[in-house]
Chain A
């Protein structure tokens, strides 16, 4: 492989140079084997490291990445055995879809949204005997996993800025039992329905958020509380199961 003579090229013309190189390879004017990509990439990384943080033009950097990636792909394809290329050609007869093909395909399904929305609106006011909202909710409760809750608590903890990330275990201000009682009190005050934001207040300290969350998990595991998120990115609503129902279930 030849070593590229990049020392003489000014960095302003660097991207143009790479793009021109790519065009020449594409037009079979240059043999890609004669280009040392490592040399080009190292020179560019050197430029990035030496530049001031805010002085890099993102658009130019993106153009460079596209051009250099295309060159890498071009060179990598040359390394493939010829036989495999023939197989690929046969395969491409059926699957050589351009972005436009996929766009057309996408538009078909996108146009169906209105059809499904109309159907959904029509069916929304029809209640089937076996599919009442309560059964729907119970079904969902049975399928609930804790991934939504873990994501929600992670987002709350990441949004809060803490000067001190460590927790002093010696100082026990809150415990799970006490928090369970607090949550149960809140449920009573709010007719058995609470939102995640109401239970875990932003005013709480990191330790209090974690203890409250553990108390909530304990209530879910005991089957006293279940939750539902009716919309993506919507608030998670917790419901307290009827005490009467619980006792009858236990008897059974």
Chain B
């Protein structure tokens, strides 16, 4: 199933298809992971985007690049990463709220992130003007190899004072 799936498969999905217990599925994946590691296999099972997927080891990247005619993978600019970080920690969030933190216009950046499927529109905020609300997509987790949103470092542990975190709290309640 992991070989043919077009997205990372979660334990719940595998459980629903096979009818096996959650614990059994988890143990089997762990067993496979350790087997591939022991046999020094060129691929492994990566836990990414709330699921599991087969992936190749980084040391074989050179060959795979040649297979794809040295096709360059999408690299995000610092501004895009910064915007994505704001969206990820405060989702759902409006463009105005992002711009308030960044201090610059983010229209083009958001359009690019939307076009490349890193963020998606998830509704409208119930305030004057009904602005669009954005949140990150599965592609965001896949691009950075994150297991889930809980893989992100807690914002309050970044070495900054916690006194001003009210802004974040207000933004976090944006969709309520």
Contact = CB atoms under 8 A, between A and B. Distances in A.
Interface in B26-83: 46, 48, 53-59, 61, 64, 68, 71-78, 80-82
Given A105-B168, A143-B115, A126 B56 contact: yes
A133 B85 contact: no
Main secondary structure of the interface of B (DSSP, over half): mixed
A137 interface: yes
Nearest to A115: B153
Q: Is the interface of A mostly helix, strand, loop or mixed?
A: helix
B75 A105 contact: no
| Chain A: interface size category | 35 or more
A54 interface: no
Interface stretch (A7-15, A34-42, A75-83, A116-124): A116-124
A130 B58 contact: no
B160 A119 contact: no
Contacts of B111: 147
A116 B73 contact: no
Contacts of A168: none
Interface residues of B, number: 59
A245 interface: no
Interface stretch (A55-63, A93-101, A177-185): A93-101
B166 interface: yes
A94 B170 contact: yes
A147 to B, nearest CB: 8
B85 A106 contact: no
Contact of B85 (A109, A122, A134): A109
Nearest to B165: A105
Interface string B138-164: 000011111000000101001111001
A130 B6 contact: yes
B160 A126 contact: no
A133 B68 CA distance: 7
A125 interface: yes
B143 A123 contact: yes
Contact of A109 (B3, B75, B86): B86
A120 B75 contact: yes
Nearest to A101: B164
B155 A126 contact: no
Given A102-B103, A119-B145, A231-B75, A130 B7 contact: yes
A109 B3 CA distance: 36
Contacts of B142: 123, 128, 131
A128 B85 contact: no
A173 interface: no
15 contacts: A95-B170, A105-B101, A106-B101, A116-B81, A116-B144, A119-B144, A126-B55, A126-B57, A128-B142, A129-B3, A132-B68, A136-B73, A144-B115, A145-B115, A230-B72
Given A109-B85, A109-B101, A112-B153, 12 more contacts: A104-B160, A105-B164, A106-B101, A106-B103, A112-B81, A120-B76, A124-B61, A126-B58, A126-B61, A129-B3, A139-B117, A140-B116
For the complex of A and B, list the 10 residue pairs with the smallest distance between their C-beta atoms, beginning with the closest: A125-B61, A123-B145, A125-B58, A133-B71, A119-B144, A112-B85, A129-B54, A127-B56, A109-B85, A116-B81
